[in-house]
Structure 1
Amino acid sequence: MRLYLLALNPTDSVTQGFLPAAARLGLDVTVLTDHAEAHRLAYAGLPSPPEVLACEVQDFREVVGLVSRHHAPAALFSNSDHLQTQTALAAGYFGLPAKDWRATLRAKNKAELRRHLSATGLDTVWSAELAPGQDPATLADPPFPCVLKPREGVASEDVALVTDAAELALRHREIQHRRPGATLVVEELLTGDLFTLETLGDGRDRRVLGGFRTRLSPPPHFVEEVLEFVPAYPQAVLDQVLAQLDALGVGLGACHTEFVLQADGRARLIEVNYRAIGDQCDLMLAQILEIPYFEHVLTAHLGRPLPDVPGPRTDRRARNEVVCADRAGTLTAAPGRYDGEADGVRLAYRPLRPVGERHEHYRTNRDYLGVVWAIGADQAAVDAAVAGFVAAHRWEITP
């Protein structure tokens, strides 16, 4: 059976998660990508590297054409935010298990997500779109402070808190300079503690796997710095989030949902990422739950029912913390990959930027130098293990 995996740039989720899982399932894998050489280099060290074919994956018609000329597909799958709708349309063309393309579009298009949830009556957030070149002064009474972000953005890139009309105009000019053809969204700031919900569905049933409490960088930016595992949420909170996912049409495969929990118990969605959580959290989640997480995601896309997944792991705690660059320059010193266990805490460190590489200061997750995560039975012990690793190592950036 052949799995077609659509991708843009290589990611740890695919290289370390989905490709090894596909091999364990006995699947032949063809990676379709517009970054073919980067993928071949990324997979060179794998025991069974997948076939990599160049394809304009952002056009579902090109995907359909290439697959039609190649081997018969058993499944089409992507873990990219940018390729969910294309994958859904192509999978549907071949009569394979597919996400509802309307749901993938609602999740990706942040303005459409707000309109749809408002139309269902589940939640209404003040939101307005700014077309390329549109003057933000044309907006009617934005509720400052508010958030400015790309309509189809990811990873907090070009997301900023703006406090007044002058700052909105300034940030708008900056983002339009970097993204001249992008439509932006201005929406009200949703205050409260930030959490995630991780779910997995086979199109009929859904499993709730827990979530993470998220700590962000100081405003005006929204860089995720620390995530702590939350085994289970109060039922009232869970019901609110799941009702909104149902309204959006989320059902097949992995979904990573971000929401704020307000003081009155109201859960309000920030965004829906219709794929697995990234930045090593998916790899960590598989170990927290002790399940073949990546296999479960792929088998759902093969049309198989999900097996039983253990209930909330209230005996586990975990912390995922990134080390961020605080300035532009060349990384001249950093620790290498590490895995260890001590006093009941399992700890891992993964470099995300090679020593010797130069970068600007982005104020997004592109500033990540590495990620350290730990799993154990006690949150204080887990936190101490992560803090100890960070304190014992150095990351140096030379201007």
Structure 2
Amino acid sequence: MRLYLLALNPTDSVTEGFLPAAARLGLDVTVLTDHPDAHRATYPDIEILECDVRDFRAVVTRVSTHHRPDALFTNSDHLQTQAALAAAYFGLPGKDWRATLRCKDKAEMRRRLAEAGVDTVWSTELTEPAALDAPYPCVLKPREGVASEDVVLVDTAEDLMTRSKEIFDRRPGTVLVVEEYLPGELYTLETLGDGHTRHVLGGFHTELSPPPYFIEERLTFVPAHPEPVVEQVLAQLDALGVGFGACHTEFVVHEGRARIIEVNYRAIGDQCDLLLARLLEIPLFEHILRTHLGERLAGDLGARRDGAARLEYPCAERPGTLTDAPEATELTVDGVHLTYRPLRAVGERHDLYRTNRDYLGVLRATGTDQPTVDRVTADFLAGLRWEIQP
């Protein structure tokens, strides 16, 4: 059976998660990408074909002139609609392209939720710098952005004008969304469905950098959110048409009310999915691929429910060249399994981005007792050093 996987740049989710899972399932894999050299360097034994994957018509043509597809899949935020349209063209299982579009387009998501009567958020779109009469503070962000890129809190109309001009100067032709700031603690909900059965795998409590930016610095696993909170989030996902494959939903809870911030209609990234598979002790990546092969999920995935976990993302605090940094490490301390992976190579020079591109590395910690996980994590990080020279 042949799996076509659409990708932009190589990611840990694909390299360490989906490709090994596809091999375990005995699938023949063809990667379609507009960055073929980067993928060939990362996994030289996988078939890589160059394709303009942002255009679903190019994807259809590339597949039609190659081997017959049995599944067509992507874990990229940017390619969900293209993959959904191409899968529909070939009559393959996949996501509803309308749902993928609603999730990717943050303005359309707000409109859809309001029309369905499940949540209304003040929101508008900008195509040029503007000073609006808005309910400040507001959040300014790209309509189809990811990873907190150019997401910023603005307090006044003048601030909105300044910030929007900065972004438009860097990203001409983009469309920005301005929406009211939603107060509350930030969480995630991780779900997996086959169009008939939907499993809630738990979620995370996310700690952010100080405003005005929204960099995710720390995530703590939440085995089960309160049932009323889960029901509210799932009702909003239903309104968007989300229910097939993996979905990573970010939401805030304030005074018992859960409100979606954004929906990433794919598996959670930044190595959280790798942690989740280990923590729950389920073949998470195989389950996701099986749904795209048309297989039904079991009513009980057999997920372990007594796990505790935490992820930490050490961030660069200034621009410059990384001259010294810890190497990849894997060890167990007091029953806590630690996996540290560098995300920036020594010798690389970077600006300060105020996004997850500032991450220097990621630490994954899993165990069975949250206080112990937290203590071991803090002690381990205290012993690490990064040197950045101007």
What TM-score, normalized to structure 1?
Answer: 0.96
| Equivalent AA in structure 1 for residue 268 of structure 2 | I
User: Using the alignment, how far apart are the partners of 1:286 and 1:63 within structure 2?
Assistant: 30
Q: Any conservation in 2 of the 1:30–1:53 contact (CA below 8 Å)?
A: yes
Aligned match of 1:58: 54
Aligned match of 1:179: 171
Q: Any conservation in 2 of the 1:320–1:373 contact (CA below 8 Å)?
A: yes
| Equivalent AA in structure 2 for residue 107 of structure 1 | C
User: Using the alignment, how far apart are the partners of 2:329 and 2:123 within structure 1?
Assistant: 44
Q: CA deviation at 1:67?
A: 0.1
Encode CA deviations 1:58-111: one digit per residue, 9 max, x unaligned. Answer: 000000000000000000000000000000000000000010000000000000
Aligned match of 2:189: 197
Aligned match of 2:66: 70
- For 1:1-399, list aligned pairs within 5 A: 1-44=1-44, 49-131=45-127, 134-137=128-131, 139=132, 141-263=133-255, 265-310=256-301, 313-399=304-390
Q: CA deviation at 1:339?
A: 1.0
Q: State the identity as a percent.
A: 69
| Equivalent AA in structure 1 for residue 262 of structure 2 | E
- Say which SS state the counterpart of residue 285 (structure 2) adopts: helix
User: Using the alignment, how far apart are the partners of 2:205 and 2:46 within structure 1?
Assistant: 35
Q: Give ranges in structure 2 of 5+ residues lacking alignment.
A: none
Q: Give ranges in structure 1 of 5+ residues lacking alignment.
A: none
Q: CA deviation at 1:312?
A: 6.8
- Say which SS state the counterpart of residue 314 (structure 2) adopts: strand
Q: CA deviation at 1:183?
A: 0.4
Deviates more, 1:374-383 or 1:104-113: 374-383
Q: CA deviation at 1:307?
A: 2.5
- Say which SS state the counterpart of residue 313 (structure 2) adopts: strand
CA RMSD after TM alignment = 1.0
Q: CA deviation at 1:309?
A: 3.9
- Say which SS state the counterpart of residue 324 (structure 1) adopts: coil
The count of aligned residue pairs is 390
User: Using the alignment, how far apart are the partners of 2:104 and 2:180 within structure 1?
Assistant: 18
User: Using the alignment, how far apart are the partners of 2:327 and 2:4 within structure 1?
Assistant: 32
- Say which SS state the counterpart of residue 356 (structure 1) adopts: coil
User: Using the alignment, how far apart are the partners of 1:312 and 1:125 within structure 2?
Assistant: 35
Q: CA deviation at 1:342?
A: 2.1
- Say which SS state the counterpart of residue 215 (structure 1) adopts: strand
| Equivalent AA in structure 2 for residue 198 of structure 1 | E
Q: Any conservation in 1 of the 2:197–2:299 contact (CA below 8 Å)?
A: no
Deviates more, 1:243-252 or 1:382-391: 382-391
